[in-house]
């Protein structure tokens, strides 16, 4: 074989006896579950090449590096190209078996009963290839409705189940199933065409290292000890080749390897390599650019668009040149935008007087390359649009950036973002971006984007206040930054507005913010005794509705808009929160809350919960179900899981305590509250004197006795002493007669 020769896979075997994947190489990877995108794209490329007519150029699969051991038998030891060669070998075997060409396959690809293509990484891999080529495929089924070929092989008498533990064998089985799915319906004689030397469809450039006087050891060192190039290195090579005709190509390539590389090196994100972050940036920028094109709208998204967007946004798969080329990704105008974004962030970090702007841009960049969350992507897109809207960076760019990011962040934080809403939000941001450098002036008369209408008026009010008194800006930002609020502070603004004059007091707003930050401190909203929840219940019913008779005590989670809209943000907007703040003075907040709890006198179910904080702890999802007078505490999110009824639970607790103290003046021997789930009603089981058992349910504002557990059973008369006992034990509710 010459130093560099164009050759087919089958043609290699006319020059050597065996092709071997040496011990130093990794296992076969194209069949791994995580390589689905690579696998499908490569098979698609091979399929297209095999179906093209003879006038078409053959598919060139780049270089294969290796060295030939000139001995008997002669062996080609592959140092680069093992993935492509393995897939081609499996494709030859499948097509030969499907098309009845197994004998021709054996004549070409076996020698002395052994496979002429083999792995030396593990004995099990070698044995698998030998067994695969030796077994007759006449019992295998290849019809469209046939069982998966990998399962047929595993069920064969020659297949050892222990081979499935070999990563190379497992990957081969997965690849064969993928080949079956793509080539089962093919009717052409593809095996003969694949092997043809007259009409070569798929070829390689072969480079024999030893013909250049290079040792295998040197190649391994050059190629990172045998490891393949990273996905980003492959992407970079493809990108630089794609922009050859662009006037800025050389400058772009230099920055790609220079200042921008430095930018990503400095991110230092744990557990993610530098080139992973770099590649994710480009993939997700392609996502933003695709979503922002004028022809993309929420109503016209097709299934193919959705899949393509998901691939770019998740950025978890490998780089696929074929699909990027088919989608015309990274056109020159896109690369110009990317250049401006990267230059802006790089320069911002080196500017001595723009620390705040640089910090914000850096934080958004880190989030952008580490999270596929729609909100994260939208916030970075807002930064991108701000950068692209700059005709020329000015001295006040940092201030304009801060205001734009705060304003757009507040709007985005109040949205439930999904694929369609994301595109709508980006379209609205794009329309607003030209005004980013005159934001406050423009907002006075700006049209209201439909998707942002719920938050828009609040943002307009904030701008009016800032223009009246610039001191408002810092005060508003301080309140907006609370994790539970994240931009939506209309509750505090309403409290700071005089009901008599309709004017907003900055002094009052600052005082309210101080109190709110103290009350919504993490240590308080996560307190194991639930002091904040109980103190609020002493003042009124603050619970937030979440649908179908269910209400939440509020959880500390506030990462998403859904969580905040069912959490403390909603409570802050209730009048009861303002009433609570009137009790907050200079004393420690916990003491104030405890004082309210100690003085509770509200009666009813609220007082019962205030006195029994364990019922809130029981509700892991912080949910209760209110149905008329019955209060059900839920262990999970619905009554499909275990729950109990509050009044019966408290009565059982108090009866049990009196029994333990030995001061219960009536003949009750035991009391136990029964939890339940589904459509059953929780009940209280009482054991009376003479071993009589009675069952109590709380319904229609009173306790009712039943003779049996089943709530459909006959009612039973209550003991004569029970009404007086209830009045004594349950003073928070009215006793029954």
Per-residue pLDDT reduced to its tens digit, 339-350: 999 999 988 876
CA distance 306 to 95: 33
Per-residue pLDDT reduced to its tens digit, 292-326: 876 666 556 666 667 778 778 887 766 667 677 77
pLDDT at 699: 83
**Between the ranges 78-82, 101-105, 213-217, 695-699, where is the mean pLDDT highest?**
101-105
Task: Say which residues have a Cβ less than 8 Å from residue 20's Cβ, sequence separation at least 6.
Answer: 75, 76, 77, 78, 118, 119, 120
Per-residue pLDDT reduced to its tens digit, 581-626: 999 998 899 999 999 999 999 999 999 999 999 999 999 999 999 9
DSSP string, 683-713: EEEEEEGGG-EEEEEEETTEEEEESSSSTTS
- pLDDT band with cut points at 50, 70 and 90 for residue 184: confident
pLDDT at 215: 45
DSSP string, 532-547: HHHHHHHH---PEEEE
Kindly give the residue spans of alpha helices, DSSP state H, lying in 243-373.
249-257, 259-265, 274-291, 303-314, 321-326, 332-350, 355-370
Of the CA atoms within 13 Å of residue 334, those in its CB half-sphere come to: 20
Which whole number is the average pLDDT over 194-223? 65
pLDDT at 225: 37
Per-residue pLDDT reduced to its tens digit, 526-584: 999 999 999 999 999 999 999 889 999 999 888 899 999 999 999 999 999 999 999 99
CB 393 within 8 A of CB 346: no
Q: Which of 211, 207, 203, 206 is nearest to 70 (CA)?
A: 211
Indicate the range of 189-198, 211-220, 263-272, 309-318 predicted with least confidence: 211-220
Q: Is pLDDT of 193 > 80?
A: yes
Q: Is pLDDT of 73 > 90?
A: no
Count the Cβ atoms, other than its own, within 10 Å of residue 381: 27
Per-residue pLDDT reduced to its tens digit, 646-692: 999 999 999 999 999 999 988 899 999 988 988 888 989 999 887 78
Long-range contacts of 273-276 (CB under 8 A, 24+ apart): 273/230, 275/230, 275/231, 275/232, 275/233, 276/230, 276/231, 276/232
pLDDT at 335: 94
Task: Say which residues have a Cβ less than 8 Å from residue 688's Cβ, sequence separation at least 6.
Answer: 667, 668, 669, 694, 719
Instruction: Tell me the CA distances in angstroms from 343 to 263, 286, 677, one per residue in order.
Output: 10, 17, 60
**Mapping DSSP to helix (H, G, I), strand (E, B) and coil, where does residue 551 land?**
strand
Radius of gyration of the chain (CA): 36
Provide the residue ranges of all domains of the chain, joining segments of one domain with +.
4-222, 231-468, 513-602, 644-729
Count the Cβ atoms, other than its own, within 10 Å of residue 603: 12
- The mean predicted confidence, pLDDT, of the chain is 87
Which whole number is the average pLDDT over 455-479? 97
Q: Is pLDDT of 16 > 80?
A: yes
**Mapping DSSP to helix (H, G, I), strand (E, B) and coil, where does residue 674 land?**
strand
Instruction: Tell me the CA distances in angstroms from 387 to 287, 345, 348, 396, one per residue in order.
Output: 17, 9, 11, 13
Count the Cβ atoms, other than its own, within 10 Å of residue 559: 11
CA distance 553 to 617: 10
pTM beyond 0.75, yes or no: no
Q: Which of 664, 696, 666 is nearest to 683 (CA)?
A: 696
Q: In the chain, what is the straight-line distance between the N-terminal and C-terminal CA atoms, in Å?
A: 105
φ/ψ region of 709 (left if φ > 0, alpha if ψ in -120 to 50, else beta) reads alpha
Task: Name the residue with tokens 């006087």.
Answer: 213
CB 383 within 8 A of CB 335: no
Per-residue pLDDT reduced to its tens digit, 95-139: 999 999 999 999 999 998 899 999 987 888 899 999 999 999 988
Indicate the range of 148-157, 179-188, 641-650 predicted with least confidence: 179-188
pLDDT at 37: 79
Per-residue pLDDT reduced to its tens digit, 237-292: 778 877 877 888 889 988 988 889 888 888 877 778 888 899 999 999 999 998 88
Percent of the chain with pLDDT over 90: 53
Long-range contacts of 368-373 (CB under 8 A, 24+ apart): 368/281, 368/284, 369/267, 369/269, 369/272, 369/277, 369/280, 369/281, 369/284, 370/269, 370/272, 370/277, 370/280, 372/284, 372/313, 372/314, 372/315
**Mapping DSSP to helix (H, G, I), strand (E, B) and coil, where does residue 589 land?**
helix
Q: Is pLDDT of 737 > 50?
A: no
DSSP type of residue 636: S
**Mapping DSSP to helix (H, G, I), strand (E, B) and coil, where does residue 601 land?**
coil
Per-residue pLDDT reduced to its tens digit, 350-408: 665 556 777 889 899 999 999 999 999 999 999 999 999 986 666 678 889 999 999 99
CA distance 528 to 556: 12
Q: Is pLDDT of 336 > 90?
A: yes
pLDDT at 216: 47
Indicate the range of 505-514, 705-714, 722-731 predicted with least confidence: 705-714
pLDDT at 64: 80
């Amino acid at each position: 074989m010459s130093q560099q020769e164009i050759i087919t896979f089958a043609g290699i075997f006319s020059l050597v006896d065996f092709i071997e994947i040496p011990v130093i190489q990794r296992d076969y990877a194209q069949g791994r579950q995580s390589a689905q995108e690579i696998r499908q794209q490569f098979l698609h490329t091979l399929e297209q090449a095999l179906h093209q007519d003879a006038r078409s150029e053959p598919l060139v699969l780049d270089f294969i590096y290796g060295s030939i051991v000139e001995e008997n038998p002669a062996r080609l030891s592959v140092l680069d190209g093992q993935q492509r060669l393995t897939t081609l070998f499996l494709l030859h075997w499948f097509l030969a078996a499907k098309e009845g060409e197994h004998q021709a396959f054996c004549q070409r690809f076996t020698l002395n009963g052994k496979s002429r293509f083999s792995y030396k990484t593990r004995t099990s891999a070698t044995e698998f290839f030998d067994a695969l080529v030796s077994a007759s495929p006449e019992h295998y089924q290849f019809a469209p409705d046939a069982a998966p070929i990998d399962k047929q092989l595993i069920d064969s008498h020659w297949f050892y189940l222990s081979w499935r533990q070999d990563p190379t064998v497992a990957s081969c089985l997965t690849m064969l199933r993928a080949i079956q799915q793509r080539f089962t319906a093919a009717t052409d004689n593809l095996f003969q065409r694949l092997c043809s030397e007259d009409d070569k469809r798929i070829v390689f450039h072969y480079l024999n290292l030893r013909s250049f006087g290079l040792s295998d050891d040197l190649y391994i060192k050059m190629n990172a000890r045998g490891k393949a190039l990273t996905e980003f290195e492959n992407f970079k090579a493809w990108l630089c080749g794609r922009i050859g005709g662009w006037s800025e190509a050389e400058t772009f390539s230099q920055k790609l390897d220079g200042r921008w590389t430095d930018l990503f090196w400095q991110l230092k994100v744990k557990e993610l390599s530098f080139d992973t972050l770099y590649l994710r940036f480009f993939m997700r920028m392609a996502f933003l650019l695709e979503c922002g094109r004028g022809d993309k709208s929420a109503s016209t998204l097709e299934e193919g668009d959705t899949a393509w967007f998901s691939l770019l946004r998740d950025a978890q798969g490998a780089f696929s040149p074929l699909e990027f080329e088919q989608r015309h990704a990274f056109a020159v105008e896109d690369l110009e935008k990317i250049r401006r974004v990267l230059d802006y962030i790089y320069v911002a970090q080196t500017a001595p007087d723009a620390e705040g702007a640089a910090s914000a841009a850096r934080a958004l960049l880190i989030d952008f390359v580490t999270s596929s969350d729609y909100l994260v992507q939208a916030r970075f897109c807002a930064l991108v649009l701000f950068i692209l809207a700059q005709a020329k960076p000015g001295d006040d760019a940092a201030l304009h950036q801060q205001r734009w990011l705060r304003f757009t962040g507040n709007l985005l934080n109040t949205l439930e973002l999904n694929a369609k809403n994301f595109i709508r939000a980006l379209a609205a941001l794009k329309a607003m971006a030209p005004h980013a450098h005159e934001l406050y002036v423009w907002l006075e008369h700006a049209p209201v984007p439909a998707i942002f209408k719920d938050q828009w008026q609040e943002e307009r009010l904030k701008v009016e206040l800032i223009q009246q008194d610039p001191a408002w800006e810092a005060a508003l930002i301080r309140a907006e930054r609370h994790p539970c609020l994240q931009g939506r502070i209309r509750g505090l603004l309403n409290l700071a507005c005089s009901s008599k004059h309709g004017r907003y007091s900055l002094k009052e707003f600052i005082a309210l913010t101080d109190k709110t930050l103290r009350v919504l401190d993490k240590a308080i909203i996560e307190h194991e005794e639930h002091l904040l929840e109980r103190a609020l219940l002493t003042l009124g019913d603050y619970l937030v509705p979440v649908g179908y008779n269910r209400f939440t005590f509020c959880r500390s989670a506030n990462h998403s808009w859904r969580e905040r809209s069912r959490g403390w943000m909603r409570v802050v907007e209730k009048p009861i929160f303002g009433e609570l703040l009137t009790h907050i003075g200079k004393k420690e907040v916990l003491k104030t809350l405890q004082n309210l709890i100690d003085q509770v006198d509200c009666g009813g179910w609220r007082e019962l919960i205030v006195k029994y904080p364990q019922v809130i702890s029981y509700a892991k999802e912080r949910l209760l179900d209110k149905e008329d007078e019955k209060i059900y505490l839920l262990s999970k999110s619905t009554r499909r899981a275990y729950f109990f009824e509050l009044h019966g639970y408290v009565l059982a607790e108090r009866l049990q305590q009196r029994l333990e103290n030995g001061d219960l003046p009536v003949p009750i021997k035991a009391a136990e509250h029964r939890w339940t789930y589904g459509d059953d009603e929780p009940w209280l089981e009482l054991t009376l004197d003479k071993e009589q058992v009675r069952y109590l349910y709380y319904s229609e504002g009173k306790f009712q006795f039943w003779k049996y557990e089943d709530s459909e059973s006959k009612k039973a008369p209550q003991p004569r002493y029970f009404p007086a006992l209830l009045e004594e034990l349950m003073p928070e509710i009215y006793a029954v007669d």
